[in-house]
Amino acid sequence: MADSAATPAPSPVLVPTLGARLGAEVIGTFVLVFSVVGTALFAAGFAGGEGGFNVGFLGVALALGLSVVVGAYAFGPVSGGHFNPAVTLGLAVAGRFAWKDVVSYIVAQIVGGIIASTLLVAIAAGGPDGFLSKAQKGGFVSTGWGELSPGGFPLVSALLIEIITTAVFVWVILGVTSSRAAAGFAPLAIGLTLTIIALIAIPVSDASFNPARSIATAIYGGPTALGQLWLSIVAPIVGALIAGVTFKFIFDGTRKAD
């Protein structure tokens, strides 16, 4: 009989501390907001489109998707890579995230977003011909309806697009992070989904899906942006909760194999 003392003890499972996870959420949300809002501010309409240097809606949508891909691969192994209060709530409702950590995650995400928008304000302040003032008068890339909607869409349209697209986004997250999904591809699927729904939503609501991103821009976007901020908080949360509640019933049905 083999000596049990000679059997090596299993290696302990190392789990990131809450502090490490919150730090990852701050930095990941910072990367997301800095990337997408910075692209929208400085590159989307650069030089009025002259010379072909501006990136337009497509560039902003790609910046959003790519920032999430990068953040999910870099910081996802630490915190899960939420970077979005709506995602955190949707995952908690679906039973994929502990409710006890929800508030701290949301605070970390809001902090990361505000740091990013504050630094973008500092950069824009050095722009030519009152660049920052013009950006703030235009809402500072805030999301909303009416004058904050790039296409001039009304409240109902903005509300619906934010709810529907966020629900789709969270459904995809739940699907690609399930035990049945192919390993290693979740960040790509999530980032590509964000790019697609951003292309749909930017003309309607300026594409939020993320209360932390919306808060970060609204605090510098003036009275209209602050007055419409409720939509960019409520609608993504409603969409995420719909996805979290319905995912099990729609996609988690199983039976014994024949």
Structural domains of the chain in order of their starting residue, each with its CATH number: 18-248 (1.20.1080.10)
Instruction: Note whether 109 and 82 are within 8 A (CB).
Output: yes
Instruction: Note whether 203 and 57 are within 8 A (CB).
Output: yes
CB atoms under 10 Å from CB of 10, counted, come to: 6
Distance CA 157, CA 191 (A): 24
Residue 184 predicted with pLDDT over 90: no
Residue 146: its pLDDT value, please?
Answer: 96
Q: Is 177 exposed, middle or buried (0-12, 13-18, 19+ CB in 10 A)?
A: middle
pLDDT tens-digit series, residues 75-101: 999 999 999 999 999 999 999 999 999
> pTM value?
0.90
Percentage of the residues of the chain whose pLDDT score is greater than 70: 89
Distance CA 48, CA 86 (A): 34
Confidence of residue 211 (pLDDT cuts 50, 70, 90): very high
Distance CA 125, CA 203 (A): 26
Q: Which residue has the higher pLDDT, 14 or 35?
A: 35
Residues found in the chain: 258
Q: Residue 99 corresponds to which amino acid?
A: W
Q: Is 254 exposed, middle or buried (0-12, 13-18, 19+ CB in 10 A)?
A: exposed
Residue 250: its pLDDT value, please?
Answer: 82
Residue 1: its pLDDT value, please?
Answer: 45
Instruction: Note whether 93 and 84 are within 8 A (CB).
Output: no
